[in-house]
Structure 1
Amino acid sequence: MKLSDADIIEKIRNGDETALDFLYKKHYRMMVSMILRNNGTEQEALDIFQDALIVFWQKAKSDDFKLTSKISTYLFSVCQNLWRKELDRKRKFEESDKEDSEENNFEQQEMIKIIHDCINELGESCKQILTYHYFDGMSMEKIAEKMGLANSDTAKTKRYKCKKRLDELIRSRYTSSDFLD
Structure 2
Amino acid sequence: MPTPLAESLAQLRVGNQKSLIDFYQRSRHLFARWAQRQHRLPPEQAHGLLQDTLLDFYDQVADGRVTKMPDDVRAYIYGMAQQRLAAAVPAHVPLPAAEASRRQQLLTHFNQLGPDCQQVFTYFYFNGYNLAKLGGKMGYPNPTVARLQKNSCLRKLVELARPPAVLRQHLDALESFADGHLLAAEQEAFELRLEQDETLADAHAAYEQLTADLRWAAGHDALRLRLQALDARMNERGTALARAETLGQQRQRRGLVWGTVGVLLLVVAGWAAWYFSRPSPARPARSWDAYYQPDPGPVVTTGLLHSRPLLAEALDQYQSGHYPAALHSLGRVSPASVGADTLLYLRGLILLREGQGEAAQLYFRRVGTEDSTGELARRARYHLGMAYWQAQKTAPALTALRAVAADSLNPYRASARRAVVAGVLDGQ
TM-score for both structures, normalised by structure 1: 0.42
> Relative to total residues, which structure has the larger helix share, 1 or 2?
1
Greater relative contact order (CA < 8 Å, ≥ 6 in sequence): 1
TM-score for both structures, normalised by structure 2: 0.19
